[in-house]
Chain A
Amino acid sequence: MAARRVNQTLIYLVLIIASILYLLPVYVVLVTSLKSNAAVSLAHMWNLPAHPGLSSIRAAWAQLSQNFGNSFYLAIPATLLSSALGAINGYALSKWRFRGANALFFVILMGLFIPYQSVLIPLLRVMDTIGLYNSIPGLIIVHTVYGIPITTLIFRNFYANIPDDVLEAAKIDGTGYWGIFRYVILPLSVSGFVVSAIWQFTQIWNNFLFAVSLTNPPNQPVTVALVNIAGSQTIQWNVQMASALLVSIPTLVVYIVLGKYFVRGLLAGAVKG
């Protein structure tokens, strides 16, 4: 008993130290973004703001609002599209084990291991040729395509848990490939979509490489704009921290909102309980 308590205390201690280390930079970002530019100095960076205000956040928003729009316009469709394609792929690969399904899955998975840098130049040429260079729709396509391997993996593993005989029951009840997908698979996919959406939204929102390579102002997503702020004449630390704070909010919201729907056990009762 005693040994167990000591053990637990130790674990908590380690966890608390780790989270403090992790949260320290966040703390600096937070306090700095609430300070005025004059109040920012290396000497006082750990202090709480003497006169907290939203001026730097307002300034950051003024510079970033359009890029925010771009990022939403990019991340939402790309997340939905890549998740939808992943669901369809996962369904086909896990539930209709056609000849060569495993080989095909392997090939799709290889997509996970392609370093983005290695495809940048061909990608640029392709986008240019099809007239989508320097446009958000172009970025949507790129992120959708590069999202397919991971979303396919997520949904294939997720669907492996849906018993085959539920699908067979639907076949006997009178529906086929798409009917089963529409009436049985999709309604059971909520948790799969939550996982896929959280992952994809975060990846796409935070992506810098594709964004900086394929778009120019004013079509750039917010990640690129953020770096541009840092690169301007004199560095306004408070505005920069405020921007970073703003940019991180959407992914945070996605986690908080969608995490709530991260329900398990929807399948309980499909098979013998």
Chain B
Amino acid sequence: MAGVRLSHVTRRFGNVVAVDDVNLEINDREFLVLLGPSGCGKTTTLRMIAGLEELSEGNIYIGDHDVSQLPPKDRDIAMVFQNYALYPHMTVYENMAFGLKLHKTPKDEIDKRVKEAAEILGLAPFLKRRPKELSGGQRQRVALGRAIVREPKVFLMDEPLSNLDAKLRTQTRVELKRLHQRLGATIVYVTHDQTEAMTMGTRIVVMKDGVVQQVDTPEGIYRRPVNQFVATFVGTPPMNLISATLTSEQGRFVAQVAGQKVALPEFLTPGLKSMTAEAMTLGIRPENIQLLAESDVPAGHLPVAGVVRVIEPLGHEQMVYCQVGDNTVVVRMDNTWRGQVDDNVVLAMESDALNAFDPVTERSLLTHETPMLA
């Protein structure tokens, strides 16, 4: 096991900058998730770590070694491909044993490792089958097994669950997490699925257009996104972005939302001081708002008035789409809430959960000292 370091890693394809000056420190035994929309450069980044793609600029270190110029076989990594990439002419056993054979591992050692991995992955009954005689889920396990038996320094996984059906995906997600704990392995995992990222990652790297947006724990990404892209890419439904006008009254910042005054919490003050223009954007997640009667708004909440436009019942909860001035604000309410379309409501926003963005740069106005949540 070892950590991985990317230093100013850039990859260009003609005029396209697929990966743009990425700097990353991946810790030993970490489950690091590269998250971003399709085409943002996740796969390219992973393939550069694997040695399947050349770097246009920068260096990659595995452990203390600069591996930038090494071929994949000398990097001591294993990769799980999106389409599994099993050897179609080999049995499950041979698929897993192939890498070890190439490394001249003794036969009984190969046998031991393959059988162990097959046991962990529930593949023992299928060792003599060919890939085409397996279901998608089983193939996926063989691909995992092929990586595990190698006992590599780093596991690289490119959307390994994307070809599984929803139920199997959820199940495998849990198993992958367990596997990570069991093996104590360093894993770099690529996905465009935020649920996978949030549930499995010890840290998440959000990318967009080849540029790293934020590197943080799942909680940090979710609660304190560094910009509007991260705020809206993570979370279903995404974080509400409410446009407001910034004023100050008696040394405190006040936001005007659709003509209503919202006294902003202290912790936003340092960031807001840097604002020169009046326009700003407030950000708040749907579960940090409650629909209440005016008189019931508890301390630490900021009320704004709105009108219910759409109610989306989801069984265990409901999404309530409210109109506040020109903004649509989604509120997550539990299934006991009773309300009607066109009701006038008060949206009570948890002030600790408030985020603020500069609408021009779309960057967060929170500073590093901003507490996560009270």
- Determine if B133 and A269 form an interchain contact, defined as CB atoms under 8 angstroms apart: yes
Mask of A259-270 contacts with B, CB within 8 angstroms, 1/0:
000000111111
Is B112 engaged at the interface, CB distance under 8 Å to the other chain? Answer: no
- Determine if B146 and A187 form an interchain contact, defined as CB atoms under 8 angstroms apart: no
> Which of chain B's residues have a CB closer than 8 A to the CB of A169?
79, 81, 85-87, 146
Is B310 engaged at the interface, CB distance under 8 Å to the other chain? Answer: no
A69 CB, nearest partner CB in chain B, Å: 36
Q: How far is the CA of A36 from the CA of B245 in the complex (A)?
A: 111
Q: How far is the CA of A179 from the CA of B104 in the complex (A)?
A: 14
B186 CB, nearest partner CB in chain A, Å: 16
Q: How far is the CA of A172 from the CA of B67 in the complex (A)?
A: 14
Q: How many residues of A contact B (CB 8 A)?
A: 26
> Which of chain A's residues have a CB closer than 8 A to the CB of B133?
269
- Determine if A270 and B86 form an interchain contact, defined as CB atoms under 8 angstroms apart: yes
Is A219 engaged at the interface, CB distance under 8 Å to the other chain? Answer: no
- Determine if A269 and B131 form an interchain contact, defined as CB atoms under 8 angstroms apart: yes
Is B103 engaged at the interface, CB distance under 8 Å to the other chain? Answer: yes
Is B163 engaged at the interface, CB distance under 8 Å to the other chain? Answer: yes
**Contact A166 B52, CB 8 Å, known A172-B77, A173-B102, A269-B131:** no
- Determine if B81 and A173 form an interchain contact, defined as CB atoms under 8 angstroms apart: no
What is the chain B residue whose CB lies nearest that of A171?
Answer: B72
- Determine if A171 and B85 form an interchain contact, defined as CB atoms under 8 angstroms apart: no
Within 8 Å by CB of B86, from A168, A187, A266, A269, lies A269
- Determine if B52 and A173 form an interchain contact, defined as CB atoms under 8 angstroms apart: no
What is the chain B residue whose CB lies nearest that of A188?
Answer: B89
Q: How far is the CA of A161 from the CA of B273 in the complex (A)?
A: 60
- Determine if B83 and A272 form an interchain contact, defined as CB atoms under 8 angstroms apart: yes
> Which of chain A's residues have a CB closer than 8 A to the CB of B12?
none
What is the chain B residue whose CB lies nearest that of A272?
Answer: B163
Within 8 A of A (CB), among B81-102: 81-89, 98-99, 102
Is A217 engaged at the interface, CB distance under 8 Å to the other chain? Answer: no
- Determine if B136 and A272 form an interchain contact, defined as CB atoms under 8 angstroms apart: yes
- Determine if A174 and B73 form an interchain contact, defined as CB atoms under 8 angstroms apart: yes
Our count of residue pairs bridging A and B at CB distance below 8 angstroms stands at 90
> Which of chain B's residues have a CB closer than 8 A to the CB of A179?
102
Is A53 engaged at the interface, CB distance under 8 Å to the other chain? Answer: no
> Which of chain A's residues have a CB closer than 8 A to the CB of B136?
272-273
> Which of chain B's residues have a CB closer than 8 A to the CB of A183?
98
> Which of chain A's residues have a CB closer than 8 A to the CB of B282?
none
Within 8 Å by CB of A173, from B99, B131, B134, B163, lies B99
Within 8 Å by CB of B99, from A174, A188, A267, A268, lies A174
Q: How far is the CA of A129 from the CA of B325 in the complex (A)?
A: 94
Mask of B128-141 contacts with A, CB within 8 angstroms, 1/0:
00111110100100
Q: How far is the CA of A269 from the CA of B134 in the complex (A)?
A: 8
Mask of A10-25 contacts with B, CB within 8 angstroms, 1/0:
0000000000000000
Is A258 engaged at the interface, CB distance under 8 Å to the other chain? Answer: no
- Determine if B79 and A270 form an interchain contact, defined as CB atoms under 8 angstroms apart: no
**Contact A270 B71, CB 8 Å, known A166-B85, A172-B77, A184-B87:** no
- Determine if A176 and B85 form an interchain contact, defined as CB atoms under 8 angstroms apart: no
A190 CB, nearest partner CB in chain B, Å: 9
Q: How far is the CA of A166 from the CA of B81 in the complex (A)?
A: 9
**Contact A273 B132, CB 8 Å, known A168-B81, A179-B102:** yes
What is the chain A residue whose CB lies nearest that of B147?
Answer: A172
- Determine if A165 and B102 form an interchain contact, defined as CB atoms under 8 angstroms apart: no
- Determine if B52 and A168 form an interchain contact, defined as CB atoms under 8 angstroms apart: yes
Q: How far is the CA of A169 from the CA of B78 in the complex (A)?
A: 9
**Contact A172 B79, CB 8 Å, known A269-B139, A272-B84, A272-B136:** yes
**Contact A270 B99, CB 8 Å, known A169-B85, A171-B71:** no
Within 8 Å by CB of B132, from A170, A184, A187, A268, lies A268
What is the chain A residue whose CB lies nearest that of B156?
Answer: A172
- Determine if A176 and B132 form an interchain contact, defined as CB atoms under 8 angstroms apart: no
B132 CB, nearest partner CB in chain A, Å: 3
Within 8 A of A (CB), among B172-190: none
What is the chain B residue whose CB lies nearest that of A162?
Answer: B88
Give 7 CB contacts A-B under 8 Å: A166-B88, A169-B87, A171-B72, A173-B98, A173-B99, A187-B89, A269-B132
Excluding A168-B72, A184-B87, 15 further A-B contacts by CB distance (< 8 Å) are A168-B50, A168-B81, A171-B71, A172-B50, A172-B77, A175-B102, A176-B71, A187-B89, A188-B89, A266-B89, A268-B88, A269-B133, A270-B88, A270-B132, A271-B83
Interchain residue pairs A-B with the least CB separation, the first 5: A269-B132, A173-B99, A165-B85, A270-B88, A269-B131
